[in-house]
Amino acid sequence: MSRIKVLPPDVRRKIAAGEVILRPVSVIKELVENSLDAQTTRVDIDVTNGGKHKCLVNDDGIGMDRDDAVHATERYTTSKISNLDDVERINTYGFRGEALASIAQVSHFELETSDGVRGTRIEIIGGAIKGTFESQRPRGTRVKVSNLFFNLPARHKFLKSAAWERRLIVETVRTYALICPSVSFSLSENGRSIVDLSGVDSIEKRISIMFPRSLADVLLAIDVNISGVRIRGFCSRPDFSSVHHMHYIYVNSRPVRYSRVYRTITSTYQNPKNPPAFIINIEVEPKLVDINIHPAKNEVKFRDERYILDLLAQALKKKIYTKTTIVDYRRIDSATAVDKQTKRDTRFVQETVVPYAPEEKADIVADKDTDEFWQIHNTYILSQTKSGLIIVDQHVAHERIIYESIMKGKHGTQSLLFPITLDLTPEEYRVYKKTKSILRELGVEFKEFSSRTIVIDSLPADAIVGRESLVDLFRELDGLGNLIKDKKEVAKVVACRSAIKAGQKLSANEMQSLVDHLFACENPYTCPHGRPIVIRVTLDELATRFGRG
């Protein structure tokens, strides 16, 4: 008997969301959820060009017979609900019956599935079925989506780089892998393995595999069950203040964005500068939560929100403030200051940016009127010249100095008084293996220990850096994609991570040394990534602005 049915009109009206596939990660999310609903034990994902050219998801779930396979690609067809009452008792990831139809409408779509008895393959282009064929595949389902948005060029042009789209996919896969630890997940791109997680018997074990040991060791387990509301997961100790990437909220094991839950967690920790690490799953009766308020199903609303948020706050307080905290009172070197630099779409007037020309460089050096320097907002260095003034961005200036130094091989190295220990995730460790030879050429020396732990004991001589600046080094290197073996591109990342940060206070001697080293560079006007370093303002320009001209 067919499991997949067409929903009646009254149910369609209640749940209709106008499902929109916005980017490759939307495809991956919907297909992974279908696999999990199909009781899979393994999900294998393969993408090309960040998913823009191909997204393939294969599982070993219960699969479908011929009739169900055909119905599954039509809108408002699902096996997960059948009437209005079912909308109040949803315990699956999907339920609207829109995803496959929406994906097939904007791509070259191929569905291959088997219920263990008979296999079926369906090909669809732009929503039109091109053929239905026999297939010999084992039980499970494989969906291949190619040429996404081939018929919607306006939407395709708004996709970002392959590296950006890939990062979104990786984070989505990790999000589901955390809450479904018994399921194996793999993700590869162009034959390169990115995520490879075998099934384990607990979230705690999955955390130990996916996150650095330094983070896993500071987590406290939470499991509270009061009046039908169960709050389970892990949160960091109150003395933990490092930068991290662990902030996951689930409702009935569904990944969600819930700002009030997030604010409740951070306020319970008294709103620290760096938010706490946490993985929280709030389990309630399905009828007490509305999951039908956003097309992507990643926003929900509790029917009794205040009560559940109060329970969450109480559970956290009971756990984190009844433990003995150990605070590290060792002096923190100024070089470990948190990077306050924010990325802004900064626009410069082209005429005020010092052009790159040797004669201009000579003019500025000759125009120098004083050895006095002033620091503005601990970010910009201002110096008077005979014809006006110059403003130097200290971070990108230092970035240029380090980049040219290490590329010329004149950098030398400095041994760290306190070596920096990094506990890498599996993905970061893979990147480390690929780049360690280039990093050594650039002056980064390290020792390797077991369990994906490395110790950096030497850096380029000009580097001013602390542990916080290097935490995301390998994550940023991974973002280079196919350029990861390019020495120049790796050097840009190292220079950026090793440079003085915006917001870091400098002495007068440090400012003068920085400016002197900058104008000794071959190109002191743009950083390795192309951002301007120096802005010059002439006395004539100032006079005009003040109405003197």
Looking at the structure, tell me whether residues 229 and 171 fall in a common domain. Answer: no
Task: State the pLDDT at residue 99.
Answer: 82
Which token pair is 85?
């009452």
Please check the confidence at residue 325 and state whether its pLDDT lies above 70: no
> Highest mean pLDDT range out of 124-138, 331-345, 427-441, 497-511?
124-138
Q: Output DSSP code: residue 83.
A: S
Specify whether the CB–CB gap between 174 and 155 falls below 8 A: no
Residue 328: burial class (beta carbons within 10 Å; 0-12, 13-18, 19+) = exposed
Lowest mean pLDDT across 350-364, 367-381, 438-452: 350-364
Task: State the pLDDT at residue 411.
Answer: 57
Lowest mean pLDDT across 83-87, 361-365, 536-540: 83-87
Sheet containing 453-460: order of strands:
413-423, 453-460, 445-448
Percentage above 70 pLDDT, the chain:
80
Please check the confidence at residue 484 and state whether its pLDDT lies above 60: yes
Lowest mean pLDDT across 15-29, 213-227, 315-329, 427-441: 315-329
Query: Of 506, 225, 543, whose CA–CA distance to 387 is shortest?
Result: 543
The CATH code of the domain that includes 512 is 3.30.1370.100
| 462-480 mean pLDDT | 75
Angle formed by the axes of helices 487-498 and 394-407, nearest 10°: 140
Query: Of 128, 176, 313, 316, whose CA–CA distance to 234 is shortest?
Result: 316
Please check whether residue 340 lies inside any domain of the structure. no
Computed over every residue of the chain, the mean pLDDT equals 82
Q: Quote the CA–CA distance of 495 and 398 in Å, as a whole number.
A: 8
Strand pairing partners for 456? Answer: 420, 446
Looking at the structure, tell me whether residues 357 and 457 fall in a common domain. Answer: yes
Please check the confidence at residue 421 and state whether its pLDDT lies above 60: yes
Specify whether the CB–CB gap between 305 and 290 falls below 8 A: no
Looking at the structure, tell me whether residues 259 and 357 fall in a common domain. Answer: no
Specify whether the CB–CB gap between 187 and 47 falls below 8 A: yes
| 473-477 mean pLDDT | 82
Task: State the pLDDT at residue 296.
Answer: 57
| 153-172 mean pLDDT | 90
Q: Which residue do the tokens 């209640």 mark?
A: 14
Please check the confidence at residue 46 and state whether its pLDDT lies above 50: yes
Domain stops at, among 144, 179, 199: 199
Q: Quote the CA–CA distance of 208 and 201 in Å, as a whole number.
A: 12
Domain stops at, among 166, 199, 232: 199
Looking at the structure, tell me whether residues 26 and 140 fall in a common domain. Answer: yes
Instruction: Give how many domains the chain has, as a whole number.
Output: 3
The CATH code of the domain that includes 29 is 3.30.565.10
Please check whether residue 458 lies inside any domain of the structure. yes
Q: What is the pLDDT of residues 405-414, one digit of tens each?
A: 888 876 567 7
Q: Quote the CA–CA distance of 134 and 359 in Å, as a whole number.
A: 73
Q: Quote the CA–CA distance of 439 and 120 in Å, as a whole number.
A: 50
Looking at the structure, tell me whether residues 368 and 502 fall in a common domain. Answer: yes
* End-to-end C-alpha distance for the chain, whole angstroms: 87
Give the list of residues 6+ apart from residue 186 with CB closer than 8 angstroms, or none: 42, 43, 44, 45, 193, 195, 196, 197
Looking at the structure, tell me whether residues 247 and 386 fall in a common domain. Answer: no
Q: Quote the CA–CA distance of 499 and 493 in Å, as a whole number.
A: 10
Domain stops at, among 320, 337, 370: 320
Q: What number of H helices and E strands is found in the chain?
A: 19, 24
When pLDDT is cut at 50, 70 and 90, the band that residue 332 belongs to is very low
Looking at the structure, tell me whether residues 296 and 355 fall in a common domain. Answer: no
Strand pairing partners for 526? Answer: 532
* Higher-pLDDT residue of 268, 346: 268
Q: Quote the CA–CA distance of 384 and 393 in Å, as a whole number.
A: 15
Task: State the pLDDT at residue 155.
Answer: 83
Strands (E), 350-471: 374-376, 380-385, 388-393, 413-423, 445-448, 453-460
Q: Quote the CA–CA distance of 294 and 281 in Å, as a whole number.
A: 19
Task: State the pLDDT at residue 351.
Answer: 35
Specify whether the CB–CB gap between 141 and 112 falls below 8 A: yes
* Higher-pLDDT residue of 196, 292: 196
Mode of pairing for the β-strands spanning 140-146 and 108-114: antiparallel
What residues make up the domain containing 315? 211-320
| 271-297 mean pLDDT | 82
The sign of the torsion formed by the CA atoms of 31, 33, 34, 35 equals positive
Looking at the structure, tell me whether residues 85 and 121 fall in a common domain. Answer: yes
Looking at the structure, tell me whether residues 189 and 222 fall in a common domain. Answer: no
Strands (E), 394-462: 413-423, 445-448, 453-460
Please check whether residue 311 lies inside any domain of the structure. yes
Q: Quote the CA–CA distance of 140 and 44 in Å, as a whole number.
A: 12
Please check whether residue 327 lies inside any domain of the structure. no
Task: State the pLDDT at residue 233.
Answer: 96
Looking at the structure, tell me whether residues 523 and 388 fall in a common domain. Answer: yes
Q: Quote the CA–CA distance of 454 and 459 in Å, as a whole number.
A: 14
Please check whether residue 295 lies inside any domain of the structure. yes
Which token pair is 67?
């009739």
Please check the confidence at residue 505 and state whether its pLDDT lies above 70: yes
When pLDDT is cut at 50, 70 and 90, the band that residue 501 belongs to is confident
Which token pair is 356?
């790159």
* pTM of the complete model: 0.65
Helix, strand or coil, per DSSP, at residue 476: helix
Query: Of 513, 522, 544, 515, whose CA–CA distance to 390 is shortest?
Result: 515
Please check the confidence at residue 202 and state whether its pLDDT lies above 90: yes
Query: Of 128, 168, 134, 131, whose CA–CA distance to 150 is shortest?
Result: 128
Looking at the structure, tell me whether residues 25 and 152 fall in a common domain. Answer: yes
The sign of the torsion formed by the CA atoms of 452, 458, 461, 462 equals positive
Lowest mean pLDDT across 145-159, 174-188, 312-326, 384-398: 312-326
Element (H, E) at 188: strand 184-189
Please check the confidence at residue 339 and state whether its pLDDT lies above 60: no
When pLDDT is cut at 50, 70 and 90, the band that residue 129 belongs to is very high
The sign of the torsion formed by the CA atoms of 62, 68, 71, 76 equals negative
Percentage above 90 pLDDT, the chain:
39
Looking at the structure, tell me whether residues 143 and 44 fall in a common domain. Answer: yes
Mode of pairing for the β-strands spanning 247-251 and 278-283: parallel
| 375-382 mean pLDDT | 92
Please check whether residue 544 lies inside any domain of the structure. no
Query: Of 169, 113, 163, 115, whose CA–CA distance to 142 is shortest?
Result: 113
Give the list of residues 6+ apart from residue 470 with CB closer than 8 angstroms, or none: 420, 422, 456, 497
Task: State the pLDDT at residue 457.
Answer: 82
Please check the confidence at residue 124 and state whether its pLDDT lies above 90: yes
* Higher-pLDDT residue of 59, 371: 59
Please check whether residue 337 lies inside any domain of the structure. no
Please check whether residue 325 lies inside any domain of the structure. no
| 34-56 mean pLDDT | 95
Task: State the pLDDT at residue 72.
Answer: 85
Please check the confidence at residue 84 and state whether its pLDDT lies above 80: no
Q: What is the pLDDT of residues 230-247, one digit of tens each?
A: 999 999 998 888 888 899
When pLDDT is cut at 50, 70 and 90, the band that residue 77 belongs to is low
The CATH code of the domain that includes 272 is 3.30.230.10
